[in-house]
Structure 1
């Protein structure tokens, strides 16, 4: 493949947004060219796009009847604006983030009708994400007929976990039926693991606990570049509290809500996915900046609980791999919320984790004190870059 022989387009469809990025296909791998998103789909949409160098390509808000009302229309807007970014280069393939791959998909996969049918069956396991992922795939097929599409799964990275880490304490027939811990945010964890290994091969071969803290949040124990344990389980609802999701909850609470409080399963689902977590506890927002600025008791309690749960799971992840050589913060909260990082790390000195307050405040790449037994790092994740690399790999195997 000659340098810049074409573009790999990456699409990441969320509930009200459609992120996109373009990567030039080169012999050395994908090279970033542009990125952007249409946000506020169905409400007050806005298109923003920039080149990899930070130059603006588009910035448009809609206030009339021509606004994109769904993901297919949003992709149409993106397609019409791509000419300025593509410079006449063809789109070789389209890579998609797909949250749930179930038991059948443990590696990036060329999308066909059979793949789509299988992914449809997994919608109940990731109701906030999977439907939008599939809508993005269908919209891309409509706008780019004949262009190969590749699904990259957030669950795939965790398939290296052992049986004990994946199973629930249920009779074996449930595990055999696919009821097991899948783990999520795998594309982010895979990127971080590879980046740390490239920066420091010794550290990359060691024991990492990575905290992917954003609106969706989880932790992963990585040993020798492989996932060994994670906080998320059968669905993306498990583990630590998130922006609007409860995280781990006693199953008895759910039974009580249904049997004693008279809530329907739909009402419980909406509460746990959309009305809990930082937003539900604070009564303010899922945005940490707004919670920190609120100054209310409920807001303070939300941050305290979030930090406590993350801190507890850091210890659990370290125990699952026999220790810890580095703690890595990533994603929106992990990369930007210095106060939350400080709250989390307070009290972890027994593990060898001690923050340098000045480094943390400056968002330095390494925020632990000099000579600390455990490095504490801050790294920007790049899920789109991982998707582009996987997509290019599939296209190369297809010839």
Structure 2
């Protein structure tokens, strides 16, 4: 027997009538709650540059030309990320405009920033850092890593420092100046990997998205390292981040933010999106498709899962409070194998999967018995080989909750065929 993969279009979820619920009693908001509500999911005022010269103001075009002339007068040849800054082509213009934008198109300030960055890259050996083995295998895919793209095509970098609440891990990584410097090199390496994915082209993808998980982050211990990273990135990677999404933001974030704030420009602050604990999936789904979001954040992406090809597109749906949703996948033939992934952001509801034969009088098979899934659980991944034709029904029961939740699923059916 051989297997042939077939692509099936998902049927729309069959929604059952939500149970009626009494309206919750009003309550007074604390100062912290009001702060969190005001900052959660706000739309940043930041607008990403297109880098088309025709979109520049006359004064900005003039500044670009002046920067080119001053740079040419001081250097015969200079490059960054493999692009000659004196070539006069559009890729060079994109880089120069990033430095100009970071200094509000003040030519002399932009030139000084650019020259300092070039000097730093030479001393830091940043151009060849991507290929180096810096010995942080245990931090790969945990503390900082590139994973997928957002809905607009920006590469996404995830950051999570909760692992450093362990004192032994903290001392191993930041115990002295030498260790801190080594960690900074590794963190730059991760960023440089993301930059290699950029187009440096007008109208193209010229910046990344950063998602920072503040859960369990030891704020006091990481203050020195965080300030180093912020300063280093802001000085040497201007306009490289289109949006900064903070998730699992604790109540004390306002205090933490006051520490970081002096090191950030107003333009950088305008890129922030802040999401409190419990709203991770809801926040990320607004910017990133579920198949590109790591499973620990309510998505379907598992590290290393792209080795067998690109991620299969997922279908998004919403589970309202007091509602049960049935997803029916029909047209499954006898001998076919269906593989599926399903996730609900913040779960805390009941899930089950059944196979319903198409033949009259057939018995429904409980593929996955009803069970309560905790908030921290990752996406369900399972498969089933049908012995007879029928349909698969995936059910999520949110009738015991009033909270609306985002969700996603995907599936693929492999038909079994006989070789002749």
TM-score normalised over the length of structure 1: 0.25
Please say which structure displays the higher CA radius of gyration. Answer: 2
The structure where helix makes up a greater share of residues is: 1
Structure with larger RCO (C-alpha < 8 A, sep 6+): 2
